[in-house]
Each structure stands twice: as C-alpha cells, then as structure tokens.
Amino acid sequence: MNSIITNSISKSCSYNEYRSLIFTYAQEGKTTGLISSSDYINYTKLNESRMHRLDKTIEVTQETKALLENLSKEYIWLVISETWCGDAAQVVPVINKMAEVASKIDLRIVLRDENEDLMNLFLTNGTKSIPKLIIIEKETGEVIGDFGPRPTQAKQLIIDYKAAHGVVDETAKIELQKWYLADKGVSIQNEINALIIATASQNLPE
C-alpha cells in the first residue's frame, strides 16, 4: 500500500467519531481546516443539522444491499472530508449507510487539511475538492477507484449554473442542496455501485 495512504489510515477515525467531532465543534463554535472564519463555523453548524437528519432518513436501496452484502473481498473505504463542507454533509452519511450493510467494508475518515499529501493524490481537475471516497482492497492495499466530490448530476447542476451566471453563489448552493434532498442519496449509491461492479468485472478470469 502507498505509504501516504497507510499513514493517513493510521490517523483516521470512524464515522461515529467524525460525527462526534462535528457535533462538538458545532456546539463550541469551531470548525476543522485551515480557515476558521465565521462563515466556516456557521457551515459546520448547518452541516451538523443536515447530517443529523440524514443519519435518520437515508435508506440503502435493495440493489445496493444485494451488492454490498455479497462482496467477495474486504475493503477499506477512506474518505477525505472537513466539517464545513456542504457536499460532505450530504455525501458522507450515504457512504456510511452503505458501509453499515457491508461486513467487508471498513469505513475510515480523515480531514483534508491534515492530510495534504493524501489529498494531492486524489485531486479533481487540479483542485482539492471534497469529499473524496478512496476504495482500497484491504488484502493487497490496491486503490481500485475513487468517487467524489459530487455525483454526476450534481456536478452538472453546478457547471450549468456557473455557465449561466458566471459564479457559484449562495443561490447555486441552495439549488444544490435542494437537488441532494430530492435525490435521497440514490445517485451516490448508484455511482459507487457502478464503480465496484466495473472493478469486479475487470478482475474476472478470461
């Protein structure tokens, strides 16, 4: 396994520990990361509320359950996140629900700004966009794929908005959150499922 990934896993936390961190920081008026502005503190507070709701309401689809309950290998799902990230607040609870139904998935979470070397291995168009899910085969340490920061339709929503308005402003962020709310985590599940299926098919004997 890549030494950077190994080091990051050694510093990672569980989803419950991550949620506890967000709850505590929201209560204390803090945020993770290098920027401690009032905006980022408010984002952390908002994300605590969003994640609290999603932890109760997100449901794993039958297709996802069938796939994840029958994995032939064990995996580490390593997620790069921060408490202030709006996309992470929507995506990471879905990833956690998926991991909960799979006995062969170990979900671990690290903070982006504390793991710059890791983030630099998984840039999105040259940017440090999060959240990022890294799927690692536990036995071999091989990275078999990654997902993030957003599902395809959500990415396109932002691309189209920026093309029309020239900026990604608060209105765009509201529209994005509305999209996540309506989608109920299904697109995230489908895209991660497709990644797993594609990788499995590549490993089939000829």
Between 110 and 201, name the one with better pLDDT: 110
Measuring CA to CA, which residue among 134, 141, 137 is closest to residue 110? 134
Asked whether the predicted pLDDT for residue 126 surpasses 50, the reply is yes
**Do β-strands 105-111 and 143-147 pair in parallel, antiparallel, or remain unpaired?**
unpaired
Percent of the chain with pLDDT over 70: 97
Query: For 70, phi and psi rounded to 5 degrees?
Result: -120, 30
| Residue-wise pLDDT tens digits, 20-72 | 999 999 999 999 999 999 999 999 999 999 999 999 999 999 999 999 999 99
Directed axis angle between helix 86-100 and helix 170-183, to 10°?
20
* Nearby residues of 9 by Cβ (< 8 Å), 6 or more positions away: 76, 78, 108, 110
Measuring CA to CA, which residue among 87, 111, 107 is closest to residue 177? 87
What does each C-alpha distance from 142 to 74, 75, 124, 191 come to in angstroms?
A: 12, 10, 20, 20
What is the C-alpha separation between 54 and 26, in angstroms, rounded?
A: 17
Tokens of 165: 């308005």
